[in-house]
C-alpha cells in the first residue's frame, strides 16, 4: 500500500479482482490546502488589520516592487503615456497662447518653438527633447522665457520618473524569486537522534552548478493542539 501511494499518489482506488469477492474501494482523501507551498511561499495571509492601504502607500516603492509583473508593466506604460501627453499639451498651450499656431509657415515670425504647428508637432518636439534625440528641425528660440522654464521643469520631471520606474523594474528583475524552482526537497522527512536529541531531518538539493553562499533555511512546524 505504501508503495502504491508513492507511485500513484493519494487519489487512487483499490479493486479486488478475486472471483466471488465484492468490489470495494478505499475512500478518496480530499486534497488539503497547504499552509506553506513547496516553493517556500506562505499561504497564510493577515486580514482585518486596519489601515492597510495607507501603510502600503507610505512605502510606495516597495509596494510597486512587490506587485505582479502585469501590474508593473501597466503602471510603467500608463505613467509614461500620461506624462508624455501632459507635457506635450503644455508645449501646445504655450504655442496656442502666443499665437504661434497661426504663424507656422511665416519666415519673418519668431515663435517659441520653431516648426510647431499643431499638437502632433508639439508631441514630437517633446519626445525629441525628452529622449535627447535632437533632430534639429524643432528647437526653442531665445524669445520664449516660459519655454525655457518649461524645458527645465521637463528635464527634472523626466529624470525623476526615469529613476523611479526604471529603478523599480531593475530591482524587480534582480530578485531571485524563481530560484526556488531549482531547489529539490526530499519527499520524506525522518526523525532521528542527533547529539542526544530527536531531530526532524530532510534533504535539500540544488539542481544548478552554481554554489549558494550563506544560504539560510527557515522551517515551520504545524501540528494539532493536544487536549
pLDDT tens digit sequence for 58-78: 778 888 888 888 998 999 999
Give the pLDDT confidence score for residue 26 in this predicted structure: 57
Q: Residues of the chain with pLDDT > 70: what percent?
A: 79
Min mean pLDDT across 14-18, 31-35, 47-51, 177-181 is at 14-18
Q: pTM (2 decimals)?
A: 0.59
Q: Give 160-199 pLDDT, tens digit per residue.
A: 998 988 888 888 888 777 777 788 888 888 999 988 899 8
DSSP string, the chain: -HHHHHHH-S-------STTPPP--PPPPPPPPPSB-TTS-B-------S-HHHHHHHTHHHHHHHS-HHHHHHHHHHHHHHHHHHHHHHHHHHHHHHTGGGGTT-TT---SBTT--SHHHHHHHHHHHHTT---SSS-B-TT-HHHHHHHHHHHHHHHHHHHHHHHHHHHHHH--GGGGGGEEE-S--EEEEETTEEEEE--EEE-SSSPPSS---------PPP-
Is pLDDT at 12 greater than 80 in this prediction? no
pLDDT band at residue 7 using 50, 70 and 90 as cut-offs: very low
**What average pLDDT is seen over the chain?**
79
Give the pLDDT confidence score for residue 90 in this predicted structure: 93
Q: Of 10 and 172, which is predicted with more confidence?
A: 172
Give the pLDDT confidence score for residue 40 in this predicted structure: 63
Q: Give 98-146 pLDDT, tens digit per residue.
A: 888 887 677 788 888 888 888 999 999 998 888 878 777 888 888 888 9
Give the pLDDT confidence score for residue 92 in this predicted structure: 92
Amino acid at each position: 500500500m505504501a508503495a502504491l501511494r508513492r507511485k500513484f499518489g493519494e487519489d487512487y482506488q483499490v479493486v479486488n479482482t478475486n472471483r466471488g469477492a465484492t468490489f470495494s474501494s478505499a475512500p478518496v482523501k480530499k486534497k488539503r490546502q497547504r499552509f506553506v507551498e513547496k516553493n517556500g511561499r506562505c499561504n497564510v495571509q493577515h486580514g482585518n488589520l486596519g489601515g492597510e492601504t495607507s501603510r502600503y502607500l507610505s512605502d510606495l516603492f516597495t509596494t510597486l516592487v512587490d506587485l505582479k509583473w502585469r501590474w508593473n508593466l501597466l503602471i510603467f506604460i500608463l505613467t509614461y503615456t500620461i506624462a508624455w501627453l501632459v507635457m506635450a499639451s503644455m508645449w501646445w498651450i504655450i504655442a496656442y497662447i502666443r499665437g504661434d499656431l497661426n504663424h507656422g509657415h511665416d519666415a519673418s515670425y519668431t515663435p517659441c518653438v520653431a516648426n510647431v504647428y499643431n499638437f502632433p508637432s508639439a508631441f514630437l518636439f517633446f519626445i525629441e527633447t525628452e529622449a535627447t534625440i535632437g533632430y534639429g528641425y524643432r528647437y526653442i528660440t531665445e524669445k520664449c522665457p516660459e519655454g525655457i522654464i518649461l524645458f527645465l521643469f521637463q528635464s527634472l520631471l523626466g529624470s525623476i520618473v526615469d529613476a523611479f520606474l526604471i529603478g523599480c523594474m531593475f530591482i524587480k528583475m534582480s530578485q531571485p524569486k524563481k530560484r526556488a524552482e531549482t531547489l529539490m526537497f526530499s519527499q520524506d522527512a525522518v526523525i532521528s537522534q542527533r547529539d542526544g536529541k530527536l531531530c526532524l531531518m530532510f534533504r535539500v538539493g540544488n539542481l544548478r552548478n552554481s554554489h549558494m553562499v550563506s544560504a539560510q533555511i527557515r522551517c515551520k512546524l504545524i501540528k494539532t493542539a493536544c487536549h
